[in-house]
Chain A
Amino acid sequence: MSNKNISFLEGFVLPFVALIGSLLVFGLFVFVSGQSPFEAWKLLFLGAFGDAFSIQNTLQRAAPLMLTALCVAIPANAGLTVIGGEGSLLVGALACSAVPYFWSVPLNTQGTCILMMASCIGGACWMSLVGVMRQYRGVNETISSLLLAYLAVNVFKHLVEGPMRDPGSLNKPSTFALSPELLIGGIAGYDVHWGLVWGLVFCLLASLWLKFTSHGFATKVVGGNPRAASFVGLPTNALIVTACALGGAAAGLAGGFEIAAIHTASNASVIAGLGYTGILVSFAARHKPLLIVPVAIVLGGFGSAGSLLQRRLGLPDASIQVLMGFAFIFILAAESARGRIQWSRIWRFKLDLNVLGAR
């Protein structure tokens, strides 16, 4: 096989092996806490893809993950490790619910589009701060983006429980709910909302942008070798800030969909760690926008199975977090094996074993 084919195959085999490895360790974890790992594995599959209901649940969870993963993947292609997508998501959610406080938007699809644009802009502005701080002040983007995410959580809670609170929301402080005309419904009568389609579209667009446009290519050059990029006169600062802003826009849109399609108002339920799961999705997809789609569906499935594990086996709700943590570690470790496995030798070893067996 040619080298290109091998590296293409490794792209599938290594994450798959890593996923199996993490499921095994997770099984051990479940076993130690006194439950049957086989039952847990079975429920994980059933809860994710077992019936029509769980598949819808899985796809519904995958939709925002695609967008928050883009928030990691796009800056990563520009050479940045940005992990604060949660912040942009919350700012996007806030922007979506804040617009009707200030302007009376038309109560139709046009109005919904305005809200989604507001979410994108909010998320983009928030995340571009990370790019600006890095390029103009040399602040580490990983730390600053995460600090901004914690900052966003507190600002979000302050606004939701203070100035923007709907006095009618007693037990669970929320903003005013969006008018029903502005909400986003399911696709063709299913539970899965239109965010899934937009997630797919944006993953596709991001992939095309990186592969076929000169702007996308320039971004990748900056990510690969910033010094070479400035030698050939690329506007490094602008490219990096743009990449951050695009990522932030994607995460902000995820926040907008969470409001307009699921929660109808900003409240504590929006803070569900979707931004953090997006980090794992993007790393597992090696920051390739098209690969994000299947990975997001698998991880959406884990999320959807979480409640089943909780109900049937009485496992804590953090069990999915544990599984994701293991998966992340295994995927990163597997990455180091890329290009170093001598497949031909393994192949020959197998043949030898067959010969031995024949004897």
Chain B
Amino acid sequence: MDAQTMQFLLLAVLGGAVRVGTPFLFVSLGECITEKSGRINLGLEGVLVLSAMAAFLIANFFHSPWLGVLGGALVGGLFAAIHGAICSVRRVNDIAMGIACMMLGIGAAFYMGKPLIQLNAISLTTLSLGAWSSSEQVRSALEINVLFPIGIGLTLLMSWGFKHTKWGMIVRMVGDSSDAARAQGVSVNQVRFLSTMLGGAIAGIGGASLSLYYPGGWNEGLSSGQGLIAVALVIFAKWKPWYCLLAAMVFGGAGSLGPALQSAGINGYYYLFNAVPYFLTLVILVMTCEPERALRGAPSELGKTQ
């Protein structure tokens, strides 16, 4: 591999970190809110696929990508509300319910999305931050998804909100000790329901980014486990929004390695490079998790069935 190919790959991976990482960012931020309140929603994979389909449908119907993003968030929030509502019932296991929501979300998206496959892609605007450069590759690496800065804004907002607002503190209190929250007169189930719904809405923006920006369009292979990787990312990010951003970029980069190598003319390992994000997630989980004690920063109500 010569220096030029290396440079090409590096730029492609850096550009891909933003392009591929944006959906990861939204889903992991959404899961972060849900988990902070003490519940795990594995159904975000279903939310991601369903909202990608819905965003694409709505954007095509109204010829407006922004309405598509809004619709994706709305559908994501409503679908996650199913999880939030049923898990409020005593003795329902949130992990099992997440698996059920994942199945239903993916099934419903494939069912309703069947006629959408032929439709033309409609795309969100691209921010071209690389106009100053004469290099074609630098410019294409700096073509940025317009949702990405919104994601950074959201990261900032969440990070500040958890620490400094009443709502943020209530969510964290519910996640750390439901008894303390009850003693304060806070309705634990209500807070968790709203957090799950809000988390779903944020993840829904990630879905819109999949169908309205990259890869764009609707097909049944749009997401294969990105929602799930994002759930694992939150563990790795120690439930901190800024770390979610960092983790999403790392995984976006890893995810764009395969296509980048292919366009550099290195063939034959396409699927193995596709597998890199999954493998990387496993390695990171093995490294960051510790047996016999709770993780630092983990909401202590996580994983308890009421």
Q: Which residues of B contact A283 (CB under 8 A)?
A: 96
Q: Please tell me if B3 contacts chain A, counting CB pairs below 8 Å.
A: no
Q: Which residues of A contact B293 (CB under 8 A)?
A: 138
Interface of B is mostly: helix
Quick one: CB contact mask for B84-97 with A, threshold 8 Å, 1 for yes? 00100111110111
Q: Which residues of A contact B108 (CB under 8 A)?
A: 318, 322, 325
Q: Which residues of B contact A257 (CB under 8 A)?
A: none
Given the interface contacts A133-B285, A147-B225, does A158 sit within 8 Å of B271 by beta carbon? Answer: yes
Q: Which residues of B contact A279 (CB under 8 A)?
A: 99
Q: Which of B97, B100, B101, B104 has the most CB of A within 10 A?
A: B100
Tell whether, in the assembled complex, residue A154 and residue B272 are in contact, meaning their CB atoms are under 8 Å apart. yes
Within 8 A of A (CB), among B217-248: 224-225, 228-229, 231-232, 235
Q: Which residues of B contact A235 (CB under 8 A)?
A: none
Given the interface contacts A144-B282, A147-B282, A161-B271, does A333 sit within 8 Å of B92 by beta carbon? Answer: yes
Q: Please tell me if B278 contacts chain A, counting CB pairs below 8 Å.
A: yes
Q: Considering the complex, give the chain A residue whose CB is closest to the CB of B293.
A: A138
Given the interface contacts A150-B225, A155-B271, does A325 sit within 8 Å of B97 by beta carbon? Answer: no
Q: Please tell me if A348 contacts chain B, counting CB pairs below 8 Å.
A: no
**How close is A310's CB to chain B, nearest CB, in angstroms?**
11
Interface size in chain B (residues, C-beta < 8 A): 50
Tell whether, in the assembled complex, residue B93 and residue A138 are in contact, meaning their CB atoms are under 8 Å apart. no
Q: Please tell me if A316 contacts chain B, counting CB pairs below 8 Å.
A: yes
CA gap between A150 and B271 in the complex, in Å? 11
Given the interface contacts A325-B105, A328-B104, does A139 sit within 8 Å of B289 by beta carbon? Answer: yes
CA gap between A336 and B305 in the complex, in Å? 11
Q: Please tell me if B61 contacts chain A, counting CB pairs below 8 Å.
A: no
CA gap between A146 and B96 in the complex, in Å? 13
Interface size in chain A (residues, C-beta < 8 A): 49
Q: Please tell me if B131 contacts chain A, counting CB pairs below 8 Å.
A: no
Q: Which residues of A contact B270 (CB under 8 A)?
A: 158
Quick one: CB contact mask for B204-225 with A, threshold 8 Å, 1 for yes? 0000000000000000000011
Q: Please tell me if A196 contacts chain B, counting CB pairs below 8 Å.
A: no
Tell whether, in the assembled complex, residue A137 and residue B290 are in contact, meaning their CB atoms are under 8 Å apart. yes
CA gap between A158 and B42 in the complex, in Å? 27
**How close is A128's CB to chain B, nearest CB, in angstroms?**
14
Q: Please tell me if A321 contacts chain B, counting CB pairs below 8 Å.
A: yes
Q: Considering the complex, give the chain B residue whose CB is closest to the CB of A151.
A: B278
Q: Which residues of B contact A89 (CB under 8 A)?
A: none
Q: Please tell me if A148 contacts chain B, counting CB pairs below 8 Å.
A: yes
Tell whether, in the assembled complex, residue B275 and residue A280 are in contact, meaning their CB atoms are under 8 Å apart. no
Q: Please tell me if B251 contacts chain A, counting CB pairs below 8 Å.
A: no
Tell whether, in the assembled complex, residue A140 and residue B235 are in contact, meaning their CB atoms are under 8 Å apart. yes
Partner of B286, one of A133, A150, A158: A133
Q: Please tell me if A324 contacts chain B, counting CB pairs below 8 Å.
A: yes
Q: Please tell me if B114 contacts chain A, counting CB pairs below 8 Å.
A: yes
Tell whether, in the assembled complex, residue B97 and residue A318 are in contact, meaning their CB atoms are under 8 Å apart. no
Tell whether, in the assembled complex, residue B104 and residue A326 are in contact, meaning their CB atoms are under 8 Å apart. yes
Q: Please tell me if B103 contacts chain A, counting CB pairs below 8 Å.
A: yes
Q: Which residues of A contact B282 (CB under 8 A)?
A: 133, 139, 144, 147-148, 151
CA gap between A326 and B111 in the complex, in Å? 13
Tell whether, in the assembled complex, residue A138 and residue B289 are in contact, meaning their CB atoms are under 8 Å apart. yes
**How close is A48's CB to chain B, nearest CB, in angstroms?**
18
Given the interface contacts A151-B275, A154-B272, does A328 sit within 8 Å of B100 by beta carbon? Answer: yes
Tell whether, in the assembled complex, residue B228 and residue A147 are in contact, meaning their CB atoms are under 8 Å apart. yes
Q: Which residues of A contact B275 (CB under 8 A)?
A: 150-151, 154-155, 158
Q: Which of B99, B112, B270, B289 has the most CB of A within 10 A?
A: B99
Tell whether, in the assembled complex, residue A143 and residue B291 are in contact, meaning their CB atoms are under 8 Å apart. no
Q: Please tell me if A50 contacts chain B, counting CB pairs below 8 Å.
A: no
Q: Please tell me if B185 contacts chain A, counting CB pairs below 8 Å.
A: no
Q: Which residues of A contact B160 (CB under 8 A)?
A: none
Partner of B101, one of A136, A143, A162, A329: A329
CA gap between A83 and B100 in the complex, in Å? 11
**How close is A237's CB to chain B, nearest CB, in angstroms?**
10
Q: Considering the complex, give the chain A residue whose CB is closest to the CB of B93.
A: A332
Tell whether, in the assembled complex, residue A157 and residue B271 are in contact, meaning their CB atoms are under 8 Å apart. yes
Tell whether, in the assembled complex, residue A276 and residue B89 are in contact, meaning their CB atoms are under 8 Å apart. no
Q: Please tell me if B136 contacts chain A, counting CB pairs below 8 Å.
A: no
Q: Please tell me if B292 contacts chain A, counting CB pairs below 8 Å.
A: yes
Q: Which residues of B contact A138 (CB under 8 A)?
A: 289-293, 295
Task: Name 24 interchain pairs, CB-CB below 8 A, sorted by A.
Answer: A33-B111, A83-B99, A135-B291, A136-B291, A137-B285, A138-B289, A139-B282, A139-B289, A142-B42, A146-B228, A147-B232, A147-B278, A147-B282, A151-B279, A155-B275, A162-B271, A318-B114, A319-B107, A321-B107, A321-B111, A325-B108, A326-B104, A329-B97, A329-B101
Residues of chain A at the chain B interface (Cβ within 8 Å):
29, 33, 81, 83, 133, 135-140, 142-144, 146-148, 150-151, 153-155, 157-158, 161-162, 276, 279-280, 283, 315-326, 328-329, 332-333, 335-336, 338
4 A-B pairs besides A147-B225, A319-B111 with CB distance below 8 A are A81-B96, A143-B232, A325-B103, A328-B103
